[in-house]
Chains A and B, each alone.
Chain A
């Protein structure tokens, strides 16, 4: 079955700096890669996703890149703000409506 790894497990950055979180997956059939943000005590919420037919997607200060050959994908947050502090989960699935396998999460702290 699919296995998703995520690094780093914790990340601290100064406000205004960039943050990068990297994930790898094992199942070459996976085609859908969402990223979720979970604030303390809250539910996970989708922030961005990417499909295998594109290599990069941007939404304001966040972007995701995908390398299907190497089976890895990354989340990039630019101009970080304190409200970006949360746990970020990458995930992979075969389709957008299939079961999603989550990575272990990255706890991001943005220091004012």
Chain B
């Protein structure tokens, strides 16, 4: 049963530190999404890629967040420097355009910035 994987599952860091979250999409999926979930804001789309190219990152604070896909099996979301308001669960999801009708979510990375 293919699944999206994310690492780390939990991350506690101090304000000002760099945080890197990783996502491995389901093999063969060509679309990758990054979401942030908080109690106040719900599920927010931060960025998404198709065939490794960024299609939309308008939901992402550009000054501190960056998202990349170094290859088809790895997506990264980086925060530098991190702030307490970045504390949230970050989900990665993958899909296959024109084939699968759903986005498959990873287990999420719970980030706490102190």
Interface residue ranges, A against B (CB under 8 Å): 34, 42-46, 49, 89, 95-97, 99-105
Contacts and interface: CB of A to CB of B under 8 A. Distances in A.
A95 B33 CA distance: 14
Contacts of A49: 101-102
A99 B33 contact: yes
B98 A97 contact: yes
Interface string B43-82: 1010010000001100000000000000000000000000
Interface of B: 31, 33, 42-43, 45, 48, 55-56, 91, 95-98, 100-103, 105-108
A46 B103 contact: yes
Given A43-B107, A44-B91, A97-B95, A102 B42 contact: yes
A104 B31 CA distance: 23
Contacts of A96: 95, 100-102
15 contacts: A34-B102, A34-B103, A42-B107, A46-B102, A96-B102, A97-B96, A97-B98, A99-B33, A99-B56, A100-B45, A101-B45, A102-B43, A103-B42, A105-B42, A105-B43
A95 B100 CA distance: 11
B105 A45 contact: yes
Contacts of B103: 34, 46, 100
B31 A97 contact: yes
Minimum-distance CB pairs A-B, first 9: A97-B97, A43-B105, A102-B43, A46-B102, A104-B42, A96-B101, A44-B105, A97-B95, A43-B107
Contacts of B107: 42-43
Contacts of A99: 33, 45, 48, 55-56
A68 to B, nearest CB: 18
Nearest to B45: A99
